[in-house]
Amino acid sequence: MTYAADLPDLVPARMLNEYVYCPRLFFLEWVSRLWASNGDTAEGDWRHRRVDSGGGDVPLPGEGEVKAARSVDLASEELGITAKLDLIEGDGGQVVPVDTKKGRPARDGSSWEPDAVQVCAQVLLLREHGYQAERGELYYAETRQRIPVEITRELVARTLQVLTQARETAERLAPPPPLKSSPKCPRCSLAGICLPDEVNVLARRQSGAPRRLIASDPDGHPLYITEQGAVVGIDGGRVTVSKHREELVSVRLIDVLHVSVFGNVQVTTQALRTFFDSDVSVFYYSYGGWLQVSIQPIPAV
């Protein structure tokens, strides 16, 4: 259980984004400290692999020209905000925070409100530390677009309002109700924890039966090889199946749960070693499908 005294003094700018998107998601992640990953979160982590690697310190105002710096931590007790800025670029004596998002901008080409609030919080932090920052930018990886975010009075007021509301929500120590029949829910990684339809039905906030829950696919899938005379090998992180030196199929190693070979199918030593390093089991079957032997990787200690 989380108590008000356990809450951090500073709210991350990323959590302001979550609050605008869904107050319940904000509460579950920041207050209850619950987390679940899915394909979207994994892709987001991959998109951030470069900006999260860091790129050097940022010169303090008046101590040098800001060119570019990645993964910069800033915090302000005055504002009550903390943030890790993906990228800061210098622009004619000013600095511009650039935040990376995996998706695409809104249909009209503008930024989504949660993203704009997050960037606005970053600009306010930069100003608090003495930098001149008049705007921010959002890089949407899916369309490879940079969308400018003008820091208007209205956006600043909205950002500070969200900060106050988020803090008040967190201090209640009871999660807000789920969204009702929202298109945001199906792709949310915490849908299996939040249970929006079920909670709304039980609380009589939603009529009718809850939507059917569909379990997500596992991270890997079995690979079955039945082509007689085939050879299973490994090539640059991909599992290959070939016959007479002609490639029949190639799949990513990370997509393979286990390998099952039937009859006269060879598995190279290199492939076996790679499978075991990746915790992939190999099963050998007879021509008719009777299991003859299985090879399991030794569990890591």
Task: Indicate the SS3 state at residue 166.
Answer: helix
The DSSP code sequence of 184-227 is TSTT-TTHHHH-HHHHHHHTTSS-SPPPPP-PPPPS-EEEEE--
Ordered structural domains, the chain, with CATH:
4-176 (3.90.320.10), 221-295 (3.100.10.20)
Question: In the prediction, which pLDDT does 1 show?
Answer: 47
The DSSP H or E segment spanning 243 is strand 238-243
Residue length of the chain: 301
Question: In the prediction, which pLDDT does 188 show?
Answer: 87
Give yes or no for residue 36 having a pLDDT over 80. Answer: no
Give helix 153-172 / helix 113-128 axis angle, nearest 10°: 100
Can you name the residues that pair with 294 across neighbouring β-strands?
283
The DSSP code sequence of 252-280 is EGGGEEEEEEESS-EE-HHHHHHHHHTT-
**pLDDT tens digits, one per residue of 135-163:** 999 999 889 999 999 999 999 999 999 99
Give yes or no for residue 211 having a pLDDT over 80. Answer: no
How far from 264 is each of 89, 243, 257, CA to CA, in Å?
59, 12, 21
For the stretch 147-172, what's the b/e string if a residue is b when 16 or more beta carbons lie within 10 angstroms of its beta carbon? bebebeeebbebbbebbeebeebbee
Whether 220 contacts 257, CB under 8 Å: yes
Q: Chain centroid to CA 98: how far?
A: 17
For the CA atoms of the chain, what is the radius of gyration? 25
Q: Using CB atoms within 10 A of its CB, is residue 138 exposed (0-12), middle (13-18) or buried (19+)? A: buried
**pLDDT tens digits, one per residue of 242-289:** 999 999 999 999 999 999 999 999 999 999 999 999 889 999 999 999
Q: Using CB atoms within 10 A of its CB, is residue 178 exposed (0-12), middle (13-18) or buried (19+)? A: buried
DSSP state of 31: I
Question: In the prediction, which pLDDT does 301 show?
Answer: 45
**pLDDT tens digits, one per residue of 93-110:** 899 999 999 889 999 999
